[in-house]
Structure formats: structure tokens, C-alpha cells
Amino acid sequence: MKQFLVAMICLILLASCGGSSSRSTEVNVLCSPQDTWCRGMKAAFEAKFNIKVNYANMSAGEALSRLRTEKDNPQFDIWWGGSIDNYILAKEDGLLAQYDSPNYGNLLESRYKDKDNQWGGIYVGSLAFCTNRDWLAAHPNIKPPQSWDDLLKPEFTGEISMPHPATSGTAYTLVSTILQLKGEREGWAYLNKLGGQVKQFTKSGNSSPILVGKGEAAVCLGFSHAIIEQVKVNNLPLELTFPQEGTGYEIGGMAIIKGAKHEDAAKLWFDWALTAEAQALSLELGAYQAPTVKGIEVALPELLTVKLIEYDFVWSAEHKDKFVKKFTQEIATADNLLR
């Protein structure tokens, strides 16, 4: 009789007696890449796992601020996309959960994951310049920038669009690249001069190529994949060039949020995002970042032959708050950013 009663109680209170709890039927995703990619991932995940995806699309800098604000009551289960500089800071703030995904073995390189399993890499992208082809045709004596110092030439004064590091992971990667290339003293002197060349600071790294493609500025600074997207998907007249002395790059990350309300569904998303199936969706959705996992044919291998600097992600993350504050106070405020 006693065993019968125990069995009945177990059936009623399955989770309390060692059984699995009910499966989540939804997951809340904080999504930092372009919205078309977020929407495509949402649709594919829902179709594959029959789990509803609620997502908010915001730049990496905004996403980190949001997670910090909601630390005691997280509203998102997983953060997907955005430079790992931000994930390193989120880890330091105790915002991320540790998860040893069975699909880490799919990664091409060990640097594409956190040593403590708090974030994983999902794409790679390099910084570049874009120039409006129509503007170049109207100014036949001007060549697209080929180096960082070219951006300081008089012909580009008031003709540059770039994102702001207070809200954009793209922009902070750019700031950190300059400081690593030139050293802090010379680097800040350069950034001050560059700030004087800028016509528009944008909220997101994806916005600057669009504005330049529409003729609202002549030159943009951003990730090469965002520029290629606007050329291939939206047919914008952009010419892509890279700084010959070397450029910085990002590893796009993802992480499960500590205290996630739908942790089981977040783990499903995390594991799936480390498969060739999921990462191959990027090309179908007009996203041209390089993959981090095996088994995918790279659409634009030339983007992987660009000269990259020895980018120090940990140093970059450790100095982010200080450098963003300095940029905002001394070069450009973060008020009234475009788009």
C-alpha cells in the first residue's frame, strides 16, 4: 500500500520525484545581428522544435545594457549575436550561465568558445570601409580609402558615417582596433581627428552602409559582411575596401542568460546554433559572416584572406567602459544617434 501511494504521488508531482519537468513551449531571444537574420532563425527554430520564439533586436551595446538592468529578473533566456567583447563583460558581471554544449566539437578553432563554457562563437567578421560608387563617379580624382590614415584626408571631411561605440559593438571593435594598432596615445589622437571627419554617428553598425548606399554620406566604417549584404541584397552602390596595414575583427557570440526562465529551450537554441544546418542559414538570409563550425562552404572566401591584426579580445573587453566613456565625453556624445 505504501509503495502504491508513493507511486501515485510521483505521478502527480513528477518533477518532485525525480522525473523531468514540463518542456518549455517558448524561448526569449535577445538578438543582436540584422533583423532579417533574427527573423529567419526564429522561423527555422520554431519549425524544427515547435517552440515559440519571442525576440528583441538590438545592437550589442544596447543588449549588454539591457541585461545589466535586468540582472535580478532576466527577461531573456539567450543572447545571440554581437561581438564577444560584450560577452566577456557580461561574464564578468555574472550575467551568463555556464553550459558545456555537446556541439562545441563542431567548432573550427578553440578560440571560438569561452574557456569556462559561458559563451560560444557563431560567426566571424572583419572591419572594412565602403564608399558610394555614385559619389566616386562624381569625384573622379578621389580614390576609396585604402588605409586608416586615408580617412583623415580633406576630401573625406564631413563625408563619413560610422556607428557610435556607446551603442554599437561594431564601433567599439573599431575603436579598440585603432588603439591596438597605434597605441593608446597615438590612437586617441587619431580617433579625435577621425571624429572631426564624421558626418553622422549611427546607433547600429548595420545602419552606416545603408546611409552611404543611399547617398547620405560618402564613406562608411563597418563590418565587411554588413557592407556585402547591402550590395548583394539591396543592390546599393558600395565599393568595399580594407585598410592595408591590417584590420580588426569580431567573433560573434551567444550565451545562455543566468536565471533564464526557459533554460531548456535556450540550450536547444545554443546547441542548434553550433551546427552547420543553422549557420548555413546565414547565406539564405543575406548574412555574409564567416561560419565558426565545420561543414559549410564559405560564400566569400576572399573575406577570410584580409590582413587581420592580433586582436586582443580580453584587453578590449576589460577597457570597454573606460574607452566608451572617453570617446563619448571627448569625441562625440551618444545623444540623438541616427537609426
pTM given for the model: 0.78
In whole angstroms, what separates CA 85 from the centre of its chain?
A: 9
The CATH T-level fold of domain 125-249+308-330 is D-Maltodextrin-Binding Protein; domain 2 (3.40.190)
Residues 6+ apart with CB under 8 A from 130: 209, 212, 213, 219, 220, 222, 227, 230, 238, 239, 240, 241
Residue 19, pLDDT > 90, answer no
Q: Is the torsion defined by CA of 145, 339, 202, 35 positive or negative?
A: negative
Give CATH for domain 26-124+251-300. 3.40.190.10
Residues 6+ apart with CB under 8 A from 336: none
Spatial separation of the C-alpha atoms in residues 156 and 151, rounded to whole Å: 6
pLDDT of residue 288: 86
Question: What is the per-residue pLDDT across 176-213, written as a single tens digit (0 to 9) for each?
Answer: 999 999 999 999 999 999 999 999 999 988 899 999 99
pLDDT of residue 89: 92
Number of H helices, E strands in the chain: 14, 9
Question: What is the per-residue pLDDT across 88-131, written as a single tens digit (0 to 9) for each?
Answer: 999 999 999 999 999 999 999 998 999 999 999 999 999 999 99
Task: Compute the 3-state secondary structure of the chain and give helix, strand, coil in percent, each to the nearest 5.
Answer: 45, 20, 35
**Helices 263-273 and 35-49: angle between axes, nearest 10 degrees:** 110
Spatial separation of the C-alpha atoms in residues 41 and 28, rounded to whole Å: 13
Q: What is the mean pLDDT of residues 209-235?
A: 93
Domain with CATH 3.40.190.10 in the chain: 26-124+251-300, 125-249+308-330
Give, for 223, the enclosing helix (H) or strand (E). Answer: strand 219-223
Spatial separation of the C-alpha atoms in residues 147 and 170, rounded to whole Å: 18
pLDDT of residue 17: 38
